[in-house]
Structure formats: structure tokens, C-alpha cells
Amino acid sequence: MIVPAIATISMLMILFANAVILLNHPVKSVLSLIACFLCASILWLIFGAEYLALVLIFLYVGAVMTLFLFMVMMMNVDSYTPDEQFTTKFSVMILTLTILVPCAIYGLSQLSNPSMISTDIASVKLSSKNESFTLFSSVLYQDYFWVIQIVGLILAVPIVLAAGIVKQGANTHVKQQKSSEQLAVRSNQRLTLVDTKQVRKKSC
Amino acid sequence: MLRSIIILTSMMLVLTAFVGMIINRRNLIVMLLCVEMIFLSANINFVYFSRFHQHVHGQVMALMIIVVAAAESAVALALMVLMYRQYHTVDSSKLVNIRG
């Protein structure tokens, strides 16, 4: 029962992954990737990694992919015209897969060792979900405590950096009052009023 | 059987991402999405084999990959916003300012 379910979800995931690269509109591509992530989170739930499945949904689908979606929607992506047609894309994809899939099948045939099949996940007795979650939490906050702190720093620094980058770029397009330049201005740089009648008389 | 399915799935995801990078090499958004797909395939392998070997360490590694991928997405999107402000497009062929 578990194997057909995993196979179906895997096929759906590959289908959505192909939709990501074949659809021309980036919004549709992002939506397909979201579907792909949801399939992956279902797979992880089946494998017993509930915490990671929830992190994938909340952090990735809920935050990062929504950010992607907002950014793509705010950009004028309709003006993007792909240089290759769908048939060209599809033919390139088929050609690449024709070369690479036999390599993959050969690699999988090497895995079909009878001594290794017996230890497959289907034959392993699954532990209860609470036990898995407790074990993961204890490993996370005991063995990997400092690593988690560093990872949090890695996550925080680029976000501040990204905000800084975007803000710096925004300053070039916004008119701002610069008091230092205003104080440094001289009388000959100020606005001068010209009597046009006198100027015309002089020119005549 | 199950292990073959998972390995084949992650392999197909990586191949699809590489093909997508080739055929959408002008569109930076799709290229970034393909990078996310590669991260996802690595994570699927980590989670499955952590379960296979009954170790939680693979799941910790997958969590770190998720965090690094999120940070990478944030920076890449910020750079893309800057590019869109300057060139009014996300076409990578327009990035020719530092070409010699």
C-alpha cells in the first residue's frame, strides 16, 4: 500500500517539475514548484519526518515561495518573450533525457542487490511518530546546538543584506532633500530672474 | 523497490532542473526555481536515507539545506529586483555591462 502511494506522489512531483521548466509564464512556474514542494512534504510525512514536512510547508511554501510569487507578480513578466518555442524546449528535454535516463537505469540496476533489499524501508518497523519527533528534537538541540545557532545567523544575515541591497537601489530613484548640498550652495548657483523684455531689446 | 523509486525521483528532479537551466537560460526566475528543485532533490535523498539508516542526522542536514536555500532565495530575489529596476527586465542576456 505504501509503495504505490509513494510512486504516485513521486510521479506527480516529476510532472510538476516538468511543468516548472516548460510553462512560459513565470507565475505558473512558481505555482508548479509550490505543488512540487507540497508533494515532497507528503513524501516526508510518509517517511516519518513530520517536523521537516511542516518546516517545508511553513517556511518554504508559506514564506519563500510566496515571496517568489509576489516578486514575479510585481515584475512585468508578461513582456518576457522566450527565445525558444515549446516544441524546441520539449525536443531538447527529450534528447537530454534520452542520454541521461539509460545512465540512471544502469545505476539503479546496480542497486538491485538482494542483500540490500531486505533492509528496505518497507520492511523496517516504523517507530511511533512522537518518538521520531522527540529524537529529532533532542539531536537538534543537544548534538547540533551550535550548528543551529550558526544556521540561524546564516539565515538572518542574508535577509538583512537583501533588505539593504533593495533599499540602496531604491535611493537612486527617490528624490530626497539633502541638507548638506543645500547649505553648500552659493549665490551664483541660485535661481536668477531675467527680464525678457530687456533681453529682447538688447538682441534687437 | 522503494529505494529505487526515491533515487529515480530525485535523479529526475535534478535532470529536469539541469534541462530547465539550459532551455530557460535567459529567464533568471526559472533558473532560480531550477536551483530550488536541485535543493529539493538533495533534501528528499537526505530524508529518505536518514529513515533508511534509522539516523536523525540526515534530517538535521536537510533542515540546514532548507535554511541555506531560503537565504539564497532572499539574496537572489533582491538582486533580481535591482536588475529589474535598472533594466526593466529579468533577461540575463541584458547583463553585459562588465563584458570586456
Helix pair angle (A26-47, A65-74), 10° resolution: 180
Q: Assess A75–B contact: CB distance below 8 Å, yes or no.
A: yes
- A84, with CB counted inside 10 A (0-12, 13-18, 19+), is middle
**What domains can you pick out in chain A, each with its CATH number?**
1-104 (1.20.120.1200)
Segment B54-61 mean pLDDT: 85
Residue in chain B lying closest to A166 (CA): B78
d(CA A202, CA A196): 10
Cβ-based contacts of A18 with chain B (< 8 Å): 16
Q: What is the pTM of this model?
A: 0.76
Residue A10 and residue B11: Cβ atoms within 8 Å? no
Cβ-based contacts of B39 with chain A (< 8 Å): none
Segment A133-145 mean pLDDT: 84
Residues forming a β-bridge with B91: B27
Residue B60 and residue A29: Cβ atoms within 8 Å? no
Q: What are the sequence ranges of the domains in chain B?
A: 2-91
The secondary structure of A86-121 as a DSSP string is HHHHHHHHHHHHHHHHHHHHHHHHHH--HHHHTTST
Q: Is the pLDDT of residue B38 over 70?
A: yes
Q: Which residues of A167-176 are buried (b: 16+ CB within 10 A; e: fewer)?
A: eebeeeeeee
pLDDT for residue A117:
46
Residue in chain B lying closest to A105 (CA): B8
Q: How far is A183 from chain B (nearest CA, A)?
A: 31
Q: Which residues lie below 8 Å from residue A105, measured CB to CB, with a gap of 6+?
A: none
Instruction: Classify domain B2-91 by CATH number.
Output: 1.10.287.3510
Q: Read off the pLDDT of residues A49-76 as tens digits, 9 standing for 90 and up.
A: 888 899 899 988 898 888 888 888 887 6
Q: Read off the pLDDT of residues A154-200 as tens digits, 9 standing for 90 and up.
A: 888 888 888 888 777 665 666 778 788 888 888 777 777 888 888 88
pLDDT for residue A77:
66
